[in-house]
């Protein structure tokens, strides 16, 4: 049983009401530490509520549950967006989490060393609030700030441009010519959704062919393989996955999507470590083979009403959907504390905190191939253990 820590006079604040923030608050509560979740949206799981309708987890129900509550079996093996939101609401109720919604934290600072709150953190929040805490966990999420490339000529493009974060379903694009940019899971799923939903023509702009894996084969999930591979050398797993791909992964070379080479850091696990998670097939293979999704080169610029590709071709497209990723968006919040790297990501993660910023923790800013939700749960317990020990 977890050690109980006397409740401090001020709570530990957890910024962000997504899975990482909720799991950490629950883990802190188990150790007797009062935690308050501060969420800028109108309800917890704000980011998940706005994802596209088709979204399903690529990780299994059993291996996606947060500590202390299983995901209901009725939600299926691959949990959909609405059921995940429902599960997170149930999680709040089960653990009786203290959540404050509609409040955004804009900046975190150390309290003055000569003041009454010395040694604590001060959070500047909506409405002029100043919240004081002995420890803070930042869990605003991996998908925080949508990133749209600054393509030359984009502002003159006559068609519609939107980020994947704004896409909900294929309804508004029936009969239209749509270009989806980005070779990650979001790009693949949106392209598939458009093709299934009646778009007139769907093209998928890919710069670097992704590794594509089956979510499950003969009942064995790709996630389980990734978990087992975590302690193996990356090079070994790159070669093993390349050998396995010859028998299990689809070959789409004749459709413009060749298998990536495994050498020179292009292997599945090397790229995953660098942040390029493999595409879990949720219909994209079938759509590409049937010609309902056409693979084209990456976008280089825009020329009037035509996207220009890196191979020099110009294509007609009424709509461009940019599945071009996200940025952490932490600069305003903590950029002045020297806790971020050159890419704006936290320099330390999970239970660790920098000597110059004791008690300031981050969770949810990596995208592990073994499953985001699984790793968030592991991080939550480690952070809670560390924070409770420091408060003692």
Inter-residue contact 6 to 389 (CB < 8 Å): no
Write down the pLDDT at residue 9: 62
The count of residues in the chain is 392
Write down the pLDDT at residue 359: 96
- Out of 3.30.420.40, 3.30.230.10, 3.30.365.10, 3.50.50.60, the CATH code matching 12-144+328-391 is 3.50.50.60
The stretch 31-40 carries a mean pLDDT of 97
Please tell me the distance from the alpha carbon of residue 239 to that of residue 94, in angstroms, as a whole number. 44
pLDDT digits (tens, 9 = 90+) for 156-180: 999 999 999 999 999 999 999 999 9
Which H or E run includes 130? Answer: strand 129-133
List, in sequence order, every residue forming a beta bridge with 366; answer none if it has no partner.
none
- Model confidence at 143, pLDDT cuts 50, 70, 90, reads confident
pLDDT of residue 2 exceeding 60: no
Write down the pLDDT at residue 264: 54
More confident residue, 65 or 213: 65
Please tell me the distance from the alpha carbon of residue 274 to that of residue 192, in angstroms, as a whole number. 26
Radius of gyration from C-alpha coordinates of the chain? 22
**Torsion angle defined by CA atoms of residues 170, 173, 174 and 178, in that order, rounded to the nearest 10 degrees:** -100
Work out the mean pLDDT of the chain and round it to a whole number. Answer: 91
Write down the pLDDT at residue 207: 93
Mind giving me the DSSP string for 163-230?
Answer: EGGG---SGGGBT-EEEEE--SHHHHHHHHHHHHTTBSEEEEE-SSPPPEEESEETTEEHHHHHHHHT
Write down the pLDDT at residue 352: 96
The stretch 75-97 carries a mean pLDDT of 97
Would you kindly state where each structural domain of the chain is located, as residue ranges? 12-144+328-391, 147-322
Per-residue burial over 32-61, b if 16 or more Cβ lie within 10 Å, else e, is: ebebbbbbbbeebbbbbeebbebbbbbbbb
More confident residue, 371 or 106: 106
What region does 366 belong to: left with phi over 0, alpha with psi -120 to 50, or beta?
beta
The stretch 207-224 carries a mean pLDDT of 82
Write down the pLDDT at residue 278: 87
pLDDT digits (tens, 9 = 90+) for 258-271: 888 655 558 877 78
In CATH terms, are 12-144+328-391 and 147-322 the same topology? yes
pLDDT digits (tens, 9 = 90+) for 368-392: 888 899 999 999 999 999 999 999 8
Write down the pLDDT at residue 115: 81
CA-angle at 268, arms to 262 and 273, nearest 5°: 120
Write down the pLDDT at residue 3: 58
Inter-residue contact 32 to 6 (CB < 8 Å): yes
Domain 147-322: give its CATH superfamily: FAD/NAD(P)-binding domain (3.50.50.60)
- Model confidence at 5, pLDDT cuts 50, 70, 90, reads low
Please tell me the distance from the alpha carbon of residue 104 to that of residue 39, in angstroms, as a whole number. 7
Q: Taking Cα atoms as reference points, which of 49, 28, 27 lies closest to residue 141?
A: 49
- Model confidence at 59, pLDDT cuts 50, 70, 90, reads very high
Write down the pLDDT at residue 247: 65
Kindly state the DSSP code that residue 50 receives in the 8-state scheme.
T
């Amino acid at each position: 049983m977890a050690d109980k820590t006397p409740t401090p006079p001020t709570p530990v604040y957890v910024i962000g009401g997504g899975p990482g923030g909720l799991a950490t608050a629950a883990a802190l509560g188990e150790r007797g530490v009062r935690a308050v979740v501060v969420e800028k949206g109108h309800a917890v799981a704000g980011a998940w509520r706005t994802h596209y309708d088709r979204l399903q987890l690529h990780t299994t129900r059993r291996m996606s549950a947060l500590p202390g509550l299983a995901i209901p079996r009725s939600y299926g093996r691959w949990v959909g967006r609405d059921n995940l939101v429902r599960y997170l609401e149930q999680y709040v109720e089960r653990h009786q989490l203290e959540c404050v919604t509609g409040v955004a934290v804009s900046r975190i600072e150390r309290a003055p060393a000569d003041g009454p709150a010395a040694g604590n953190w001060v959070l500047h929040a909506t409405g002029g609030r100043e919240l004081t805490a002995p420890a803070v966990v930042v869990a605003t999420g991996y998908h925080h700030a949508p990133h749209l490339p600054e393509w030359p000529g984009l502002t003159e493009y006559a068609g519609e441009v939107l980020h994947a974060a704004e896409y909900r379903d294929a309804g508004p694009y029936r009969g239209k010519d749509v270009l989806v940019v980005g070779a990650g899971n979001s790009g693949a799923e949106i392209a598939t959704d458009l093709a299934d939903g009646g778009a007139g023509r769907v093209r998928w702009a890919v710069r670097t062919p992704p590794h594509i894996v089956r979510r499950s084969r003969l009942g064995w999930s790709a996630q389980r393989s990734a978990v087992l591979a975590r302690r193996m050398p990356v090079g070994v797993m790159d070669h093993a996955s390349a050998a396995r791909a010859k028998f299990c992964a689809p070959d789409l070379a004749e459709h413009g999507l060749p298998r990536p080479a495994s050498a020179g850091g292009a292997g599945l696990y090397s790229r995953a470590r660098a942040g390029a998670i493999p595409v879990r097939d949720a219909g994209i293979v079938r759509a590409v083979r049937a010609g309902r999704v056409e693979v084209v080169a990456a976008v280089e610029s825009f020329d009037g009403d035509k996207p220009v590709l890196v191979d020099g071709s110009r294509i007609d497209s009424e709509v461009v959907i940019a599945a071009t990723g996200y940025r952490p968006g932490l600069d305003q919040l903590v950029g002045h504390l020297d806790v971020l790297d050159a890419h704006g990501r936290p320099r330390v993660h999970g239970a660790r905190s920098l000597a110059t910023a004791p008690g300031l923790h981050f969770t949810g800013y990596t995208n592990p191939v073994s499953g985001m939700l699984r790793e968030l749960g592991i991080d939550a317990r480690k952070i809670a253990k560390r924070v409770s020990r420091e408060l003692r």
